[in-house]
Amino acid sequence: MKTRFGYILAGILILLLYFLPNLIWGEGSFIQVHDFLDSNVAHIQAMKLSEGGLFAADGDLPILSGIDRATAGSPYNLRVLLYALLPTFWAIIANLVLIKLTAFLGLFFLLTGYVLKERKSLGAAFVASILFALVPFYPDYGISSAGIPLLMLAFAWLQEGRRVLPALLLIAYYAAFSTLVLSGVFACVALALLILIKWVSFKKFPWWPFVGLFFLTVLYVVLNWSLFVAFLAPGASAEISHRVEFVQPSFWESLGTSLGAFLIAQYHAGTCLAVLPVILFFVLSRFDTKYASLRNVTLFFLGLMLVGILLKGLLLKVDFLNGFQMDRFYFLYPALAFTLLGAALNELSSKHLRRLLALGMLVFSLFFDVHLRNNLAKHLGLLDTPSFAQYYDTALMGRMKAELELEGKKVACLGMHPAIPEYSGIYTVDGYYQSYPLSYKHRFQQVIQGELDKSDELKSYFCDWGSRCYIFSSELGQNFLWGKDSGTTVKELSVDAAALKDLGCDFLLSALPIENAEALGLRDCGSFTDEGSFWEIRAYGL
């Protein structure tokens, strides 16, 4: 266990243990619903089932009034390739395995190669790396955050002018498995500034790092070409996005949120107690010359993060910039924090303090790990939430699709996410999309205005944001997981059924009985459930 290979093997075994519940329970496992199963996974499935398949370059998805495929993300991504090659559940697990393996190996090789080079420091490097891998990274963003150490390793090799081909391959891997708008832009800005500083400081242009940055930029442009085309040349007929009506927080609210992401890394980037190793590193390293470069990089990044936070707050009122979050340098933050954790662990003289620090970081990360926490709670009978198979329930959806003859028709959903029928190829007039036509939002608002008038919270949620274009009920709030054992009914639903029909809707699928359905002009078409199903879906015809 004293060699790098031994530590790598130990790390792989720990990650295997982490994924053991998924391997045992399979599709009976819980998978994160929020911002994942309720949206992007179903969107990928919809693209797979649409004309042209998953890798079609353009076209619309027949959801809402027609969704531009470009808004659902680039299909030319390693994550999407996994969905093309594997059944969806196993594509999700393979995606998570790659994310965590990349995080572990990337940070371990970065630490042992450039930060903690001494043989006696292997233990500290291993602990920091495996803790980094166990951070609950957001599954839909690939290695946007988890792959930063691997990217830095590639540029360290290029800076030395060695291992050029492996470095370029690592850069290609990062570009193909990360998100341009969330991390890619900010990684490129940080790298460009570091190259500029290097050039000015040493009066010698760092050609190989520049080649690496150019390569990374070109790959991002090629892999996200449809996004660039949609942004730069939208065409005369392009619809205005609903995002123009986003109500931005005040400067001080924005500042508070961003500073919170400094204390506890932003959850999309991977929730962790990032500020603790940052403070400990500066306290323990003091003026040790062996950490001079790491201190300089840390100060540079913290300054960059602060500038991003201030720019976000100052530019909130600039219309064409207020949808672009300037503070997303936080996607680079977890990697920095765990790099500093490795150095802090190496400098702590007390074994007890080292173990306490490592345990604290581990417990904090695992507490926010919704997959691990909810899987254990579900299978211990402590949590009534659907598994992956129960959530999408393709058998139930398929039977309902056949009996109601839904082919070529559209539905709306109440008390459940529209992603559920969408996943089974049932097209919806509602849905969760990051960008859709503003004109459609206004038409849809006519349908739900009665419910919005009952709840200021829902009115703000839809009017000030609106990416969840859902049939809301003030009685149900923002809960969209109403199972058949909930014992709840919707007593008085205030929706405009005629306006809903004008959107092309043929059926309203409700997870709960609607007591005033007849008064709304909805005809009861029966209920659908199976033994072991989480749902009992009531179908109402319009």
pTM recorded for the entire structure: 0.92
Predicted local distance difference test score (pLDDT) of residue 532: 86
To the nearest whole number, what is the mean pLDDT of the chain? Answer: 89
| Sign of the torsion angle spanned by Cα atoms 376, 377, 379, 380 | positive
Instruction: Give the phi and the psi of residue 63 in degrees, each rounded to 5.
Output: -120, 145
Q: With a cut of 80, say whether residue 251 has pLDDT above it.
A: no
pLDDT at 48: 86
pLDDT at 441 over 80: yes
Is the model's pLDDT at 234 over the cut of 60? no
pLDDT (tens digit, 9 = 90+) per residue, 123-152?
999 999 999 999 999 998 999 999 999 999
Residue 435 has pLDDT above 90, yes or no: no
User: 345 and 357 in contact (C-beta within 8 Å)?
Assistant: yes
Per-residue pLDDT for 324 more than 70? no
- CA distances to 118, 207, 331 from 194, in Å: 26, 13, 17
pLDDT category of residue 67 using cuts at 50, 70 and 90: confident
Q: Residue 281 above 70 pLDDT?
A: yes
pLDDT of residue 230: 62
Residue 317: pLDDT band with limits 50, 70, 90: low
User: For position 263, what pLDDT does the model report?
Assistant: 86
Average pLDDT over residues 459-465: 94
In which band, very low, low, confident or very high, does the pLDDT at 342 lie, cut at 50, 70 and 90?
very high
Q: Contact, 396 vs 531, CB < 8 A?
A: no
pLDDT at 484 over 70: yes
Percent of the chain residues topping a pLDDT of 90: 63
DSSP 419-438: HHHHHTT-EES-EE-S--BH
Interatomic CA distance for residues 313 and 391, integer angstroms? 38
Q: Given this model, what pLDDT does residue 2 score? A: 67
Mean pLDDT (whole number) for 506-534: 94
Q: How far, in Å, are 4, 168, 203, 259 from residue 162 at the CA level?
A: 21, 11, 21, 38
Range among 43-57, 224-238, 445-459 with highest mean pLDDT value? 445-459
pLDDT for the residue 236:
44
Q: Predicted confidence band at 237 (pLDDT cuts at 50, 70, 90)?
A: very low
| Across 275-287, average pLDDT | 89
Residues linked to residue 432 through DSSP beta bridges, in sequence order = 468
Compute CA distances 161 → 3, 148, 158, 206, 306, whole Å: 26, 20, 5, 9, 32
Quick one: pLDDT at residue 259? 78
pLDDT in tens, 193-225: 999 999 998 888 999 999 999 999 999 999 887
Residue 121 has pLDDT above 60, yes or no: yes
DSSP states along 272-295: --THHHHHHHHHHHTT-GGGHHHH
pLDDT (average), residues 317-344: 80
Can you say whether residue 271 is alpha, beta or left, with left for phi > 0 and alpha for psi between -120 and 50 degrees? beta
- Give the pLDDT score at 299: 92
- Asked if residues 390 and 486 have their Cβ atoms less than 8 Å apart, the reply is no
506 pLDDT more than 90: yes
pLDDT at 266 over 80: yes
Residue 507 three-state SS: strand
Q: What is the pLDDT, as a whole number, of residue 72?
A: 66
pLDDT higher than 70, residue 58? no
R_g (Cα) of the chain, nearest Å: 25
> Which residue's entry shows tokens 């109440």?
414
Q: How far apart are CA 507 and CA 314, in angstroms?
A: 46
Q: Is the pLDDT of residue 231 over 70?
A: no
- Pick the range with the lowest mean pLDDT from 16-20, 26-30, 325-329, 430-434: 325-329
Distance CA(127)–CA(97), nearest Å, equals: 18
Residue of 235 and 171 predicted with greater confidence:
171
Measured CA to CA in angstroms, residue 240 lies from 210, 230, 235, 467, 527 at distances of 37, 12, 11, 14, 38
Q: What is the pLDDT of residues 159-172, one digit of tens each?
A: 998 899 999 999 99
